[in-house]
Chain A
Amino acid sequence: MIWNDEFETLPREAIESLQLKRLQQTVERVYATVPFYKESFEKANLVPADIKSLKDLRRLPFTLKQDMRDSYPYGLFTVPLEQIVRIHASSGTTGKPTVVGYTRRDIDTWTELMARSFVAAGAHKGDVIHNAYGYGLFTGGLGAHYGAERVGASVIPMSGGNTKKQLMIMQDFGSTVLTCTPSYSLFLAEVAAEEGIDIRGLKLKVGILGAEPWSEKMRQEIEEKLNIKAIDIYGLSEILGPGVGIECIEAQNGLHIWEDHFIPEIIDPDSGEVLPDGEKGELVITTITKEGIPLIRYRTRDITRLLKEPCICGRTHARIERLSGRSDDMLIIRGVNVFPSQIESVLFNIEGVEPHYQLIVERDGNLDTLEVQVEVNEQTFSDEIKELQGLTNKIRKDIKDLLGVTCKVRLVEPKTITRSEGKAQRVIDNRPKAS
């Protein structure tokens, strides 16, 4: 089913002409109202009138997360604060948070795109949507909430945490759709098992999971443990929040980016050059309908590829492949690029190994060391040392084969790796920061 037939199935030429018109309007507006853009366009010797075709987009300078921090809190807003009806902010683990403001029309656009996303994921009027994304400055909770109401579903505004209560509500209220991070969905399954609740037997049918990168193997694990379809949703607060892109339940193969509101590009993260369609690189997004804080060529740091082939669901909007990590999350271990998601896929391929893991990076002299901590469970545990050492050797060898990095594998007791109720913290990097 499709929420907005007219826009979600626009022919490619129509999408592109709409994109050009909206891009030109956005560029003119930011140039006229935001000093940051006026300066950066001038540095690049550009004026808005130079944008004559979509190809000209690549001439525009990038916007970085740092630019948003430098303009903290309202410097990149294009409208006076009195027109802003909502303010959100990112978690800001390093320094000040990044702040975004929404006009009334922005909220309406967001709600529309989340409604499209819910329907694409198989959630409809009549569903009970159990929204376990955090409500607050984080965009997840409210973004999903408004979209779910627009669809006409019954929304339970659970927010994060309080896992036992979540399970009780899920059972008693008959939740059919779960929205949370993928790692939290597995945590729910784990707590349910401890509490003797048959989570597979509940009414849940779909999980709309996002806000952290996850692997195809983890999807299989979630689908098996919760007996649901696990749908990947993409978003980031800088661009909108959840609902920038969504997998359709028909294909579960790539996330449709709503191209009537965003222009996605894939660039080489080192050179900044735009890569041909289908090549892997960093996703860059330009917002073309946002009023509060439009962003030109925002570097998401997410690594993916752009797929423009038609999809079986009938939507014409391009898809991005599920994220293989963020360039921010990428670890460089003795010169080798390592994404936590690659280690995750190795662990998932070994029978019985738990999805709970953590990577500890240290510097020993001039050498980086990587320790992979994996929880032991009853399936992998043995009374014989050689069996357990066989397991650690296998994990070490598989990681070496896939990534070319030698690591130390350490088995730890169950439930000693901190469970996250929001985004899972997979990496602890204790190396001294480069000065």
Chain B
Amino acid sequence: MKVEQISIFIENKSGRLAEVSGVLGDAGVNIRALSLADTSDFGILRLIVNDTDKAFKVLREQNFTVNKTEVIGVEVPDSPGGLSSILQILDKNDVNVEYMYAFVERSGDNAVIIFRFDNIDEAITVLMNNGIKIIEGSKLTSI
């Protein structure tokens, strides 16, 4: 159900993103989805990759600060109001979204959105009770 996301601390300096992607590319790690949150001084790059352990290891070896967090991938109808319906369900059930970003690939006809929740288990229960499809972690990293 859950999928591991890798986060990397990046100072706001030119070339840092290129270095991260270079390290992953050299190790043969494929990036499945990413989002970059930034402030004036630093950014946090979040990635879903095809080999989380390897990505974690090679980035660490290159002195990047990395950590792993559990997130989930949710299928969202690729039509107007598709995302809104899911967010309304979460809101009604008091489930707080920390952040979210879109997956590059589709799952069948549906879009895929990655969600980070404060309380992931509670979120999963709410989504499942409302018939929302959560994509298996292993399927997500190999789409």
Give the interface of A toward B (CB within 8 A). 376-378, 381-385, 388-389, 410-416
A415 contacts B39, CB within 8 Å? no
Given contacts A385-B44, A388-B44, A411-B9, contact A377 B65 (CB under 8 A): yes
Asked, given contacts A383-B5, A384-B98, A416-B11, whether A378 binds B66 with beta carbons under 8 Å apart, the answer is: yes
The reply to whether A384 and B67 contact each other, CB–CB distance below 8 Å, is no
Given A378-B67, A382-B7, A385-B39, 16 other A-B residues pairs in contact with their CB atoms under 8 A: A376-B9, A376-B65, A381-B65, A381-B67, A383-B5, A383-B46, A384-B99, A384-B116, A388-B39, A388-B42, A410-B42, A412-B42, A413-B10, A413-B11, A413-B63, A414-B63
**Minimum CB–CB distance for A407 against chain B, Å:** 13
**B contact residues vs A (CB 8 Å cutoff):** 5, 7, 9-11, 37, 39, 41-42, 44, 46, 63-67, 69, 98-99, 116
Which chain B residues border A376 with CB–CB below 8 Å? 9, 42, 65
Cα A8 to Cα B53 with chains together (Å)? 60
Pairwise interchain contact B69-A383, C-beta atoms closer than 8 A: yes
Top 10 A-B pairs ranked by shortest CB distance?
Answer: A383-B7, A381-B65, A383-B69, A376-B9, A376-B65, A385-B37, A415-B63, A413-B11, A410-B41, A381-B9
A413 surroundings in chain B (CB, below 8 A):
9-11, 63-65
Interface of B is mostly: strand
- Name the distance in Å between A318's Cβ and chain B's nearest Cβ: 46
In angstroms, how far is the closest chain A Cβ from the Cβ of B20?
11
Closest beta carbon of chain A to B74's beta carbon, Å: 18
CB-CB < 8 A to A412: which residues of B?
11, 42
Query: Which residue on chain A has the smallest CB distance to residue B7?
Result: A383
Q: What residues on A are CB-neighbors of B39 within 8 Å?
A: 385, 388-389
A388 to B98, CA, bound (A): 14
11 contacts between A and B (CB under 8 A): A378-B66, A378-B67, A381-B7, A381-B9, A383-B46, A383-B67, A385-B39, A385-B44, A410-B41, A410-B42, A411-B42
Inter-subunit contact A383/B116 (CB<8 Å) = yes
A6 → B minimal CB distance (Å):
54
A410, closest chain B residue (CB): B41
